């Protein structure tokens, strides 16, 4: 029948529009997953100590991008504190485009779940990590390869349902 082809095309088109309404605006998948962290000169926030990628832990850890001017980071802070107390995972912070005094002040008010913080005043490191909205968190394995990226505040749910299984998967792969 002559009508078949146009009918199929029409239904196809309407379906795209329909399902498009309900699609979760998926956050952009990071192309850095599976790649090694860039080898930068890293400056520690508190002491100003300069080092590079060798400074990072030799185990699976979280790399958390944050700033004192970021409201969502306060929301996330509880979860990070819990993760820290859980002792399963170390957290390294990257203080992004922030003033040192503001950052240190913020940490003293809200607590410090980080083993240490990298100071990225210019945002160069953030750029190389494809950061576009703080907070963002990377899960990095012991070979400094990025295994996952979480955009937005980490919640307890994300920790339990995504991060922990991911860690187990990484351990299995070894």
Partner 1 sequence: MISYIGSFLILLALLNASLLVLSKPVLSKITSGYDALILSTSKLQFPLVLIAFICLIISFVDDDFSLKYISSNSNSALPFFYKISATWAGHEGSMLLWCLILSFWTFMASIYSKSLDMQFRIKFLSVMGFLNLGFLLFLVFTSNPFEKNISIPIDGKDLNPLLQDFGLIVHPPMLYMGYVGLSVVFSFAVTCLLQNDFKKEWARWIRPWALMSWSFLTLGIALGSWWAYYELGWGGWWFWDPVENASFMPWLITTALIHSLITCEQKSMFKNWTILLSIMAFSLSLLGTFLVRSGILISVHSFANDPARGAFILLFLTIVVGGSLLIYFRNSPKIKDNISFDFFSRESFFLINNILLVTATFTILLGTMYPLFLDLLGLEKISVGVPYYNAVFLPIMTPLALLAGYIPILFLSKNKDKKYLINHLFMSLLVILFLSFFSMIFFDNFNFSTLLGVFIFIWISFNIIYDLIKRYYVSNTRNVFFINIGMTLAHLGLAVFILGATIVENNKIEKEIVAKIGETIKIKNYAFKFTNLSQYEGPNYTGIKAQFLVYENNTLITELYPEKRIYASNDMPMTEAGIDPGLSRDLYITLGSLINDDVWSIRIYHKPFIRLIWLGALMMVLGGVLSVLSKRKRMKIAPLR
Partner 2 sequence: MKMIKYFIYSGICLLFMQSIATADTKLNDALYNQMITEIRCMVCQNQNIAESEAPLAIDLRNKVREMVDEGKDEDYIKKYMSERYSDFILYEPSFSPRNLILWIGPFLFLAIISYYFFRRSFKK
Site mask for partner 2 (CB under 8 A), range 58-77, x = bound: --------------------
- The alpha carbon of residue 19 and the mean position of all alpha carbons in its chain are separated, in whole angstroms, by 28
Side-chain-side CA neighbours of 65 within 13 Å: the count stands at 25
- The alpha carbon of residue 52 and the mean position of all alpha carbons in its chain are separated, in whole angstroms, by 20
97 binds partner 2 per the rule CB under 8 A: yes
130 binds partner 2 per the rule CB under 8 A: yes
Residue 101: name its binding partner from partner 2, partner 1, none (Cβ under 5 to 8 Å by kind).
Answer: none
105 binds partner 2 per the rule CB under 8 A: no
- The alpha carbon of residue 36 and the mean position of all alpha carbons in its chain are separated, in whole angstroms, by 15
Show contacts with partner 1 in window 129-148 (CB under 8 A): none
The set of long-range contacts for 76-80, using a CB threshold of 8 Å and a minimum separation of 24, is 76/135, 76/153, 76/154, 76/155, 77/110, 77/111, 77/113, 78/156, 79/153, 79/154, 79/155, 79/156, 79/158, 79/159, 80/113, 80/114, 80/154
- 128, 147, 164, 166: residue in contact with partner 2 (rule CB under 8 A): 128
152 binds partner 2 per the rule CB under 8 A: no
d(CA 174, CA 156) in angstroms, rounded, equals 26
Residue 95: name its binding partner from partner 1, partner 2, none (Cβ under 5 to 8 Å by kind).
Answer: none
Show contacts with partner 1 in window 9-68 (CB under 8 A): 10, 14, 16-23, 26, 28-29
- 6, 20, 31, 34: residue in contact with partner 2 (rule CB under 8 A): 31
Chain residues in the site for partner 1 (CB under 8 A): 2-3, 6-7, 10, 14, 16-23, 26, 28-29
């Amino acid at each position: 029948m002559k009508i078949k082809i146009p009918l199929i095309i029409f239904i196809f088109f309407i379906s795209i529009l329909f399902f498009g309404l309900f699609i979760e605006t998926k956050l952009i998948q990071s192309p850095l997953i599976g790649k090694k962290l860039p080898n930068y000169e890293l400056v520690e926030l508190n002491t100003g100590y300069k080092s590079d990628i060798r400074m990072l832990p030799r185990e699976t850890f979280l790399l958390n991008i944050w700033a004192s001017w970021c409201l969502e980071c306060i929301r996330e802070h509880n979860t990070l504190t819990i993760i820290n107390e859980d002792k399963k995972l170390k957290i390294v912070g990257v203080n992004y485009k922030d003033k040192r005094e503001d950052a240190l002040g913020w940490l003293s008010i809200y607590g410090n779940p980080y083993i240490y913080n990298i100071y990225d005043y210019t945002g160069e490191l953030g750029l190389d990590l494809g950061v576009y909205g703080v907070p963002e968190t990377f899960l990095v394995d012991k070979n400094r390869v990025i295994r996952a990226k979480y955009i937005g505040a980490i919640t307890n749910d994300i920790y339990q349902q995504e991060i922990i299984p991911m860690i187990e998967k990484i351990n299995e792969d070894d």
